Amino acid sequence: MKAAPFEYARAASLSEVCALLATHGDGAKLLAGGQSLVPMMAMRLVRPAWLVDINEIAELKFIAVEKDMARTGACTRQGAVERDHALAARVPLLRQALAWVGHVQTRNRGTIGGSLAHADPCAELPLVAQVLGARMLLRSGTGARTLEAEKFFAGPMATNVRPGECLEEIHWPAWSWRHTGSAFTEISVRHGDFAMVAAAAQVAIDGDGRCVRAAFGLGGVGGTPLAFPKIAGRLVGTRLDDAAVNDAAHAAATETQPGSDLHASAEYRRHLAGVLAARALREARERARSL
C-alpha cells in the first residue's frame, strides 16, 4: 500500500503547471486534493512518472458569486464550498450534493476540480455539473478553452481534457427565478460511500405554481453522469404534480443502461433511478413552493 516512486514538483502558479505539463507530457499527473489519486497510487493502479502538485496555487482557490453564475477555482476545497453561505444561496445544489461526498476529513482536502477531472460516474459533483450545465475553463501553455459539462465527461474516469491542459475554474449557472428549488439524493451501501445511484434536480416555478424550468439527472447508471434535458423540458408548463414528476422520472430511468455488480443488479439500479429521480424532483418542487 505504498505508492511507486515518482518525481514531484510543487507548482507555484498556473503558468508553471502548464510548463511542467508541456515538458513531461503523458508521464505527468496533476495532484489536487489527492482523495482519489493517492489511494489509486497506493494500490498501484496509477504510476505516474511525475506528480505536479497544484495545492499551493492561490489563484486556483476562490469562490466568486456573480449575478447569473458562481465561479469556483479548480483547487477550491470541497469543505470551503460547502461552508460558503453566499454560494449556497445562489447555487444550492452544490451544498446539497456535498453533504453526500465522502466525510469531513476528505472534504477538507478534496477539491471541486479534482472530483470533476476524476470523472467517477457515481460521484456527486460531476452529476451536479451535468444537471446545471456547468462550464469548465481549461488552460494550457498555448491558450484557454471552455467545455460544457456535457462535452467534458467522456466516459467512466475519462474526460475530454487534452494532455497539457489543466482545469482552471468552473462556472456554475445560477437560476434567477425567485421560486427555484433543488435537491440531491442517493442510495449507497453506507453514507459517504460512492453512490449506487444518485439523483439531482432543480426546478423553477412561477407565482401560480407552474413550472418554468426543470433540470434533473442521474449518476451511477451509465458511463458518465446523465442529464435529461428533453424529458425535463416536458415538465415546463405543468404544476409538477406527482403524476407528471413520476412520468418524467420513469422515462429517464427507462433510458439508462446501468451495470450489475456485487451490490446491485442492473434491474435494481434502474428501479432506484426512477425512485430517486422522482424523490429529487419532488423535494426540489417543495423547496421552490416554500420560497
Partner 1 sequence: MSETLHAVSVEVNGKPRSAQVPARLSLVDWLRDDLLLTGTHVGCEHGICGACSVMLDGEPVRACLMYAVQAHGHRVTTVEGLAKPDGSMSVLQDSFCEAHGLQCGYCTPGMLIAAQGLLNTNPDPTEAQIRDAIGGNLCRCTGYQQIVEAVQLAAERTAKEAK
Binders in 83-112 for partner 1, by CB under 8 A: 102-106, 108-109
Binders in 53-72 for partner 1, by CB under 8 A: 53, 55-56
Indicate the residue among 162 and 191 with the shorter CB distance to partner 1: 191
Contact by Cβ (8 Å): 202, 182: yes
Q: Does position 225 bind partner 1 by CB under 8 A?
A: no
Alpha helices for the chain (secondary structure H):
14-24, 37-42, 78-83, 85-90, 92-98, 104-107, 112-118, 124-132, 149-152, 229-233, 242-255, 266-290
Q: Which of 21, 32, 35, 123 binds partner 1 (CB under 8 A)?
A: 35
Q: Which of 43, 58, 86, 158 binds partner 1 (CB under 8 A)?
A: 43
Question: How many residues does the structure list for the chain?
Answer: 291
In the complex, the smallest distance separating the C-beta of residue 100 from partner 1, rounded to whole angstroms, is 11
In the complex, the smallest distance separating the C-beta of residue 39 from partner 1, rounded to whole angstroms, is 4
Neighbour order of strands in the sheet with 28-31: 7-10, 50-53, 28-31
Q: Does position 42 bind partner 1 by CB under 8 A?
A: yes
Q: Does position 47 bind partner 1 by CB under 8 A?
A: no
Rounded to whole angstroms, what are the CA distances from 122 to 50, 83, 194?
27, 23, 6
Q: Enumerate binding residues for partner 1 (CB under 8 A).
A: 1-8, 10, 31, 34-35, 38-39, 41-43, 51, 53, 55-56, 79, 102-106, 108-109, 191-192
